[in-house]
Structure 1
Amino acid sequence: MSTTGAEDGFNEPDSMIAANRIPNILPHERVFPIQIGCELFKLSGASISSDAPSYFSQYFRCQLKEADEQGQDPASAIRTLYIDRDPIIFRDISLHLQGYHVQPRDSTHFVRLFADAQFYHLPKLVSQLYEESIFTTVGGVQFRIPRDLFSDPGNSPNFFTLGFAAFFTSPGGDLFPGLDRDGLLRPPSIVPPSVEGRSPEVFAQLLHLLRGYPVHIRNEEHRAELLRDCRYFNFKGVEQRLIPHAIVFNLARGKEEIVVRLRDILKSGISVAGEPTAGDPFMGWVNYARPYVDAKGYELVLEVDGESTRLRYGTRSGYGGGGGGGVMHARAEFFGEMRVRMTKLLDVIANKLNLPPTQQLMGLLMAQGEGESPSPSPGNTPLSEDLVKVVIDSDSSVVLDGKPWAPSAEEEDLWGGGHIDSSLMSRKRRRAEEGQGGEEEWIVRRGQWRLRIQGTRNGKAAVECCLVVVKLDVYSSERARNAQRPFLGV
């Protein structure tokens, strides 16, 4: 009893049959000779037509057309096509034309196969190679990188998509634009992608992160190595995952918080969450979301280290309307790189609040345009004076000279706005003239601050930004600093 193809389950869908059907560009049964280097290949018209139009199909079609016009026998009119190329690479191309799947073996094989596929105008092979992994060598070690690793917007464009753009352009693009192939025996050479002077071990860990796996950070030196190469290869998304940070839920405040260092803040992650109260309709807190990583913003706890902050706090006589009394005040002064970064941060926050720039900021921008470089200051922004307002409340944790510090009962009254005689203040490092109150200076070794937006009556704008102390490690004198200075090698 005979069976049909449908009964045996061998019938192919019409779409698959159409996709596998070889176009009738050259006579399928005729054999065409191609000399590659010292090796002669004989391919059928069906094989050549399977990936056409191509360099080969055009060459032999012209010969067949010329023979037909002159009434010649096609068998005798067909001449051997000679190309001075590597026959080993063409063996893989001939296998592709015969219907086999060809996969690159290494970076050298990939670029040679890629260049020849482009040169011969083999559209199917070119499309296949554009979907293959990219081979590259980093520090003498070869890597095979799936293309979809670079599809994330946070990690593309990067060193590879920009530096080796020929391998990342669309399949319809021409690898050799403007190249005249008529009579050309060989295409220009392509160098395999290679990166010297970088660590292959670090790059392997970055690829591990790109694939979505975590990497154990052994120490800060290890983190610095990963971040350095992230910035070199322009993997911005991976960099944001690697920067020191902590995301926790603060049950006492009922909010999720993110702790980030000032040097790692990017302006695209800044936002302001309003929390208006009856007493202050402008109240709000600065939030932050790591670009390319976090889907939402968290309340920002800003960490500033490197002994770049001086905190001045004390009393001001007559402040708030009292006669000989005073109220507590605190201001932070930033130095060096952190001064510049804090100024930029306050300027970004002001832009988020749609505040107009101050005259000082406009003058600074004009001076920079004239070639001068005046030092930026928080006072150039509409949210602060040169010394940024600081709030130390009962929840603030302060370690002074290696010991926990808390304000005295009298000082707590002053923080609350009460009025007492300034002589009740203890440990004043510097006093003004009698009746003018006193100030103490602390050098902040490391500090964590929240950024609060609040209304003000006497500021440059309707609102100001103040730093609310979360945690401080400070010292009050050079002697206290020297006491905590470590010896080398200890």
Structure 2
Amino acid sequence: MSLVPPTSLLPPEQMFSLQVGTKLFQISGYSLNSDSPNLFTDFFIENESATLFIDRSPQVFKLIMDHLQGYSLNIENESQFTFCFLDALYFKLPRLQDLIKNSEYHYVCVGGQHFKLAKTLLAQPGNSPNYFDMTCRSLFDDVRSVYLTMNLARPPPQSPPYVNRSPVFLSDLVTLLQGGVLDLTPERRQSLIQECRYYRFLRLEQQLVPAQISWNPVLQTEEVVLQLKDIKCKFVSIPLRSPDPSQEEEPTPKKRRLISNISWTAVRYRRPYVDADLPRARELIFQFCNSEATLFFIKNAKTIHVAISGQTLVRFRSVFQKVLAENKINLNTYEKQNSLLVLPASLSLCCMRVNTVPCRNVSALVDEMHFNEQVLDFNNPNNINQLVPGLKLELTKSLWKLGISDNKLLMIAVKAEAISGLKEYNKTLGYV
């Protein structure tokens, strides 16, 4: 039985001498033919008995010799990985170049710590392509292009992959990707989310984003609670309604009519990547986490509005403006002076606390609070500066649904905490 490789350029049984740096290597023609044609076969075809002198690293060449002799490459770190690829180019070893390029691992140094990351660990949709895929591809393509097009004597110097980030955080991300569970503080969770965005682990980011998913037995629907800042506008949707109820895209249970006598359709949300297989999007409950939302109760008209300002307004627009415009609702019509977005609101089903005290009857709130406050009359678009009797509450934290009906908007409060004035705000301050 012949041991000659398919492409036999050198006598298989003959030994050839290679002086790499300060070390002499002896290797058979069979091994040199295994990844040919290459620099070695080109030389020894013309100089069969000579010794080939190569001014390269003998440590790196030992790995390359293992490859030529049929062993799998045992690369330990990003330096070996990079230098092996450079020498695979220099020695013109096509099969080794492909093996390194299609390696099962990413080799990288993060903050001084070496990582060997299995590509299968990062292969889920959303986690790939990622930072490591792109930097590795750049390493291969850029170095090879420069070396070949400029006809250099040797490959250009290339630093091993290094990332100036926290190795501890990347270790945590690897643990999560492997299916592990971590006890995370809110601050640590936010740091890991930032790391996911840097490395483009977009699916893992969504798994880390704080979210509460539950089945609402009254509305017979599934709901998801998210902070407004964590919502991606691309994945917000409004269920289509057909004039023929039997043709509705998303059938609405009979229990849904809970706000006055109008059936409001709640905006829905499907989290990217992690909810891709859901048959239908969940009803969205979004959270305001700061004091940039204010409730205005107009006493005589018995109406309620919520005014949104600052960064909360900017974020609200970025999340909902596009999907509302697609449904012929223009948010600009709700914008008032002083950069306020003023939306009609319903608190009839809201679990609310005012000045830390539970408020059982929100509709009677203005009558119960015995003081004569003057607030802006948002019911009079012709004279926005007019003051009328009412009540203003600053929301410190609140949960909302956004209802749609006949091209109209309604902010439906689910849960809220509010304060009624400066004294109550001062109570919330702590000592340093």
Give the alignment's TM-score, normalised by structure 1.
0.73
Query: 2:316 matched to 1:350?
Result: no
1:467 aligns to what SS in structure 2?
A: strand
CA drift of 1:263 comes to 0.8
Separation (CA, whole Å) in 2 of partners of 1:117 and 1:332: 66
Tell me whether 39-48 or 259-268 shows the greater mean CA deviation.
Answer: 39-48
Across the aligned residues of Structure 1 and Structure 2, the Cα RMSD in angstroms comes to 3.4
CA drift of 1:313 comes to 1.4
Separation (CA, whole Å) in 2 of partners of 1:182 and 1:273: 58
Separation (CA, whole Å) in 1 of partners of 2:269 and 2:90: 50
CA drift of 1:49 comes to 0.9
1:161 maps to which residue? 133
CA drift of 1:486 comes to 2.1
Query: 2:420 matched to 1:469?
Result: no
CA contact (8 A) 1:22 1:46 kept: no
CA contact (8 A) 2:106 2:132 kept: no
1:439 maps to which residue? 390
2:383 maps to which residue? none
Of residues 227, 238, 244, the one that matches 2:210 is: 244
CA drift of 1:470 comes to 0.2
Of residues 175, 194, 199, the one that matches 2:166 is: 199
CA drift of 1:427 comes to 4.7
CA, structure 1 residues 29+432, in 2 after alignment: closer, same or farther (shift >3 Å)? closer
Tell me whether 236-245 or 148-157 shows the greater mean CA deviation.
Answer: 148-157
CA contact (8 A) 1:39 1:87 kept: yes
Unaligned runs of 5+ in 2: 246-251, 378-386
Matches within 5 A, 1:73-472: 75=48, 78-129=49-100, 130-166=102-138, 175-179=143-147, 186-196=154-164, 198-217=165-184, 219-274=185-240, 283-295=264-276, 296=278, 297-316=281-300, 326=301, 328-353=302-327, 355=328, 379=335, 386-393=341-348, 395-407=349-361, 411=364, 427-430=371-374, 438-455=389-406, 463-472=407-416
**C-alpha distance after superposition, 1:437-458 (max 9, x if no partner):** 6221110000000111112xxx
CA, structure 1 residues 431+106, in 2 after alignment: closer, same or farther (shift >3 Å)? closer
1:339 aligns to what SS in structure 2?
A: helix
CA drift of 1:87 comes to 1.2
2:290 aligns to what SS in structure 1?
A: strand
Separation (CA, whole Å) in 2 of partners of 1:27 and 1:235: 50
CA contact (8 A) 1:118 1:174 kept: no
1:72 maps to which residue? none
CA contact (8 A) 1:118 1:175 kept: no
CA contact (8 A) 2:233 2:320 kept: no
CA drift of 1:180 comes to 5.1
Unaligned runs of 5+ in 1: 1-10, 12-16, 65-74, 317-325, 361-376, 413-421, 456-462
Separation (CA, whole Å) in 2 of partners of 1:304 and 1:202: 28
Paired positions, count: 402
CA, structure 1 residues 290+424, in 2 after alignment: closer, same or farther (shift >3 Å)? closer
Give the alignment's TM-score, normalised by structure 2.
0.82
Identical columns (%): 27
Tell me whether 43-52 or 465-474 shows the greater mean CA deviation.
Answer: 43-52
Partner AA of 2:188 in structure 1: H
Separation (CA, whole Å) in 1 of partners of 2:84 and 2:93: 11
CA contact (8 A) 1:346 1:378 kept: no
Query: 2:428 matched to 1:484?
Result: yes
CA, structure 1 residues 281+441, in 2 after alignment: closer, same or farther (shift >3 Å)? closer
CA, structure 1 residues 223+425, in 2 after alignment: closer, same or farther (shift >3 Å)? closer
Separation (CA, whole Å) in 2 of partners of 1:32 and 1:281: 89
Separation (CA, whole Å) in 2 of partners of 1:390 and 1:186: 70
Separation (CA, whole Å) in 2 of partners of 1:52 and 1:159: 33
CA, structure 1 residues 451+116, in 2 after alignment: closer, same or farther (shift >3 Å)? same
CA, structure 1 residues 406+177, in 2 after alignment: closer, same or farther (shift >3 Å)? same
CA contact (8 A) 1:286 1:299 kept: yes
Partner AA of 2:374 in structure 1: R
